[in-house]
Amino acid sequence: MDFLLSGQLLFAALVLGSVYAVIALGLNLVYGTMRLLNIAHGEIVMVGAYAAFWGFSLLGLSPLVALPVVGVLTGAIGLFLYGTLFRAQLAANKPVAQLEASSLLLFFGVSIVMQNLASLAFTATPRAYQHLDTVYQIGGVAMTGNRIATLVVSVAILVAVLLFLNRSIYGLAVKALIQHRDAARVVGINVDRVQTVSILAGFGIAGIAGALVSMAEQISPFMGFPFTIASFVVIIMGGLGNIVGGIMAGFLLAFIEIYAVALTSANFRSILIYGIFVGILVLRPQGLLGKARRS
Amino acid sequence: MIRAHGLPLAAILAGAAALMVFGLGSGSYWTIVALNLAMWIALTQSWSLFSGMTGYISLGHVVAYGIGAYVVAFSFKIVPLWLSIPLAGVAAGLFALMVALPVLRVRGPYFVILTFGLAELVKYILLNVETGLGKSSRLLFGAPKPDTLLWIMVGLAAAATVALYAVHRSRFGRGLDAIREDETAAETIGIPVVRLKVLAYAASAVIPGMVGGVMALRSTYFEVLQVFNPTISFTIVTIAIIGGAGDARGPILGALFLVGLSEVLQNASPQIYLILLGLCLIGCVLFLPTGLVGLLHRKGGAR
Amino acid sequence: MTLLAINALCKNFGGLKALSDVSFAVERGSIHGLMGANGAGKTTLFSIIAGNTKPTSGRVFFDGDPIQGRRPDTICRLGIARTFQIVRPFPGLSVRRNVETAILYGRQEHVGTADAEREADRILAEIGLADAADKPASTLTLSGRKRLEVARALGTGPKLLMLDEVMAGLTPTEVTEMMQTIRRVKEANDLTVLIIEHVVSALSDLSDRITVLHHGVKIAEGTAREIAENKDVQSAYFGEDDDAGSDDDV
What pLDDT is stored for residue A2 in this prediction?
63
C83-120 confidence digits (pLDDT tens) = 999 999 999 999 999 999 999 999 998 898 899 999 99
The answer to whether residue B298 scores a pLDDT higher than 70 is: no
Residues 6+ apart with CB under 8 A from A159: none
What pLDDT is stored for residue C70 in this prediction?
94
User: What mean pLDDT do residues A191-207 have?
Assistant: 93
Mark yes or no for CB contact A117/B102 under 8 Å. Answer: no
Stretch among A21-25, A141-145, B19-23 having the lowest mean pLDDT: B19-23
Asked if B151 and B82 count as a contact pair (C-beta separation under 8 A), the reply is no
Class level of CATH domain C2-239: alpha beta
Domain presence at residue A15:
no
B161-190 confidence digits (pLDDT tens) = 999 999 999 999 999 999 999 999 999 999
Cα–Cα distance, C1 to C26 (Å, whole number): 9
Q: Which of C84, C88, C135 sits opposite B302 (nearest CB)?
A: C135
Asked if A107 and B269 count as a contact pair (C-beta separation under 8 A), the reply is no
User: What mean pLDDT do residues B224-252 have?
Assistant: 89
> Closest Cα partner for B272 from A184, A35, A113?
A113
**Minimal-distance CA residue of chain C relative to B303:** C93
Q: Does B107 touch chain C (CB under 8 A)?
A: no
C141-159 confidence digits (pLDDT tens) = 999 999 999 999 999 999 9
DSSP A291: P
User: What mean pLDDT do residues A228-255 have?
Assistant: 90
* Burial call A72-91: b when 16+ CB within 10 Å, e when fewer: ebbbebbbebbeebbbebbe
What pLDDT is stored for residue C122 in this prediction?
95
The answer to whether residue B271 scores a pLDDT higher than 80 is: yes
Half-sphere CA count of B287, side-chain side, radius 13 A: 7
**Minimal-distance CA residue of chain A relative to B101:** A282
Asked if B250 and B293 count as a contact pair (C-beta separation under 8 A), the reply is yes
Asked if A63 and A271 count as a contact pair (C-beta separation under 8 A), the reply is no
What pLDDT is stored for residue B11 in this prediction?
66
Residues 6+ apart with CB under 8 A from C46: C82, C162, C164, C194, C196
Residue B233 identity: S
DSSP A93: T
Helix residue ranges, H only, B50-107: 53-54, 62-74, 81-104
Cα–Cα distance, A258 to A261 (Å, whole number): 5
CA distance A137 to chain B (A): 36
The answer to whether residue A185 scores a pLDDT higher than 80 is: no
A123-137 confidence digits (pLDDT tens) = 989 998 888 888 888
Mark yes or no for CB contact B190/C156 under 8 Å. Answer: yes
Residues of C with CB under 8 A from a CB of B: 50-52, 71-73, 76-77, 81-82, 84, 88-94, 97, 100-102, 104-107, 113, 134-137, 152-153, 155-156
User: What mean pLDDT do residues A211-240 have?
Assistant: 91
Query: Domain boundaries in chain C?
Result: 2-239
Q: Does B33 touch chain A (CB under 8 A)?
A: no
Percentage of chain B surpassing pLDDT 90?
61
Cα–Cα distance, B153 to B146 (Å, whole number): 10
Domain presence at residue A212:
yes
Q: Which residues of chain B have a CB within 8 Å of the CB of A100? A: 108-109
Interface confidence, given as ipTM, is 0.88
The answer to whether residue A55 scores a pLDDT higher than 70 is: yes
SS3 assignment, position C61: strand
DSSP symbols for A121-180: HH-SS-B----S--EEEETTEEEEHHHHHHHHHHHHHHHHHHHHHHHSHHHHHHHHHHH-
User: What mean pLDDT do residues C159-188 have?
Assistant: 93
What pLDDT is stored for residue C10 in this prediction?
94
Other Cβ atoms less than 10 A from the Cβ of A135: the count is 9
What pLDDT is stored for residue B29 in this prediction?
81
**Minimal-distance CA residue of chain B relative to A273:** B121
User: What mean pLDDT do residues B298-303 have?
Assistant: 46
Q: Which residues of chain B have a CB within 8 Å of the CB of C94? A: 301-303
A 64-123: CB under 8 A from B: 85, 97, 100-102, 104-106, 108-113, 115-117, 119-120
The answer to whether residue A292 scores a pLDDT higher than 60 is: no
What pLDDT is stored for residue C237 in this prediction?
67
User: What mean pLDDT do residues A190-206 have?
Assistant: 92
Asked if B244 and B51 count as a contact pair (C-beta separation under 8 A), the reply is no
**In whole numbers, what is the pLDDT of chain A averaged over residues?**
88
CA A101 to chain centre: 20
CA distance B289 to chain A (A): 10
Q: Which residues of chain A have a CB within 8 Å of the CB of B109? A: 37, 100-101, 104
Task: State the DSSP H helix or E strand holding residue C17, giving kind and residue range, or none if neither.
Answer: strand C16-27
Q: What is the band of A202 on the pLDDT scale with cuts at 50, 70, 90?
A: very high
Helix residue ranges, H only, chain A: 2-5, 7-34, 41-59, 63-81, 87-91, 96-122, 145-167, 169-179, 181-186, 191-216, 224-238, 243-263, 269-283
A2-11 confidence digits (pLDDT tens) = 666 778 899 9
What pLDDT is stored for residue A73 in this prediction?
97
What pLDDT is stored for residue A288 in this prediction?
63
Q: Which of B108, B131, B270 sits opposite A97 (nearest CB)?
A: B108
Of B248 and A75, the structure prediction assigns the larger pLDDT to A75
> Closest Cα partner for C122 from C91, C154, C160, C85?
C154
What is the span of the domain harbouring residue A108? Answer: 22-222
User: What mean pLDDT do residues A275-295 have?
Assistant: 68
User: What mean pLDDT do residues B80-100 have?
Assistant: 96
Q: What is the band of B302 on the pLDDT scale with cuts at 50, 70, 90?
A: very low
Task: State the DSSP H helix or E strand holding residue C7, giving kind and residue range, or none if neither.
Answer: strand C2-13
Q: What number of helices (H) and strands (E) belong to chain B? A: 15, 2
User: What mean pLDDT do residues A206-235 have?
Assistant: 93
Domain presence at residue A72:
yes
A59-111 confidence digits (pLDDT tens) = 999 999 999 999 999 999 999 999 999 988 888 877 777 788 788 889 989 99
> Closest Cα partner for C206 from C231, C229, C232, C187?
C187
Q: Does B177 touch chain C (CB under 8 A)?
A: yes
Mark yes or no for CB contact B189/C84 under 8 Å. Answer: no
The pair phi, psi for residue A136, each rounded to 5°, is -105, 140
Asked if C249 and C40 count as a contact pair (C-beta separation under 8 A), the reply is yes
CA dihedral B53, B72, B120, B131 (to 10 degrees): 170
The answer to whether residue C245 scores a pLDDT higher than 80 is: no
What pLDDT is stored for residue C233 in this prediction?
82
What pLDDT is stored for residue B128 in this prediction?
92
Cα–Cα distance, B5 to B296 (Å, whole number): 9
Cα–Cα distance, A271 to A266 (Å, whole number): 10
The answer to whether residue B7 scores a pLDDT higher than 70 is: no
The answer to whether residue B297 scores a pLDDT higher than 70 is: no
Asked if B288 and B238 count as a contact pair (C-beta separation under 8 A), the reply is no
**Ramachandran bin of C222, using left for φ above 0, alpha for ψ from -120 to 50, beta for the remaining angles:** left
Cα–Cα distance, C52 to B26 (Å, whole number): 59
Other Cβ atoms less than 10 A from the Cβ of A180: the count is 12
The answer to whether residue B4 scores a pLDDT higher than 50 is: no
Enumerate neighbours of A (3 or more CB pairs within 8 A).
Answer: B
Total residue length of chain C: 250
Q: Which of B180, B184, B189 to mutate to test the interface with C (most CBs of C within 10 A)?
A: B189
DSSP C212: E
Asked if B235 and B137 count as a contact pair (C-beta separation under 8 A), the reply is no
Residues 6+ apart with CB under 8 A from A19: A150, A154, A209, A212, A213, A250, A254
Domain presence at residue A31:
yes
What pLDDT is stored for residue C248 in this prediction?
45
Q: Which residues of chain B have a CB within 8 Å of the CB of C160? A: none
Architecture, CATH, for domain B3-296: Orthogonal Bundle (1.10)
Residue A219 identity: I
**Minimal-distance CA residue of chain B relative to A236:** B110
Q: Does B241 touch chain A (CB under 8 A)?
A: yes
DSSP B5: G
Asked if C81 and C154 count as a contact pair (C-beta separation under 8 A), the reply is yes
Residues 6+ apart with CB under 8 A from A147: A11, A15, A216
The answer to whether residue A290 scores a pLDDT higher than 60 is: no
What pLDDT is stored for residue A238 in this prediction?
87
User: What mean pLDDT do residues B63-91 have?
Assistant: 95
SS3 assignment, position B143: coil
Cα–Cα distance, B276 to A217 (Å, whole number): 30
Q: Which of A104, A119, A274 sits opposite B112 (nearest CB)?
A: A104
Q: What is the band of C183 on the pLDDT scale with cuts at 50, 70, 90?
A: very high
The answer to whether residue C247 scores a pLDDT higher than 50 is: no
Domain presence at residue A146:
yes
Domain presence at residue A263:
no
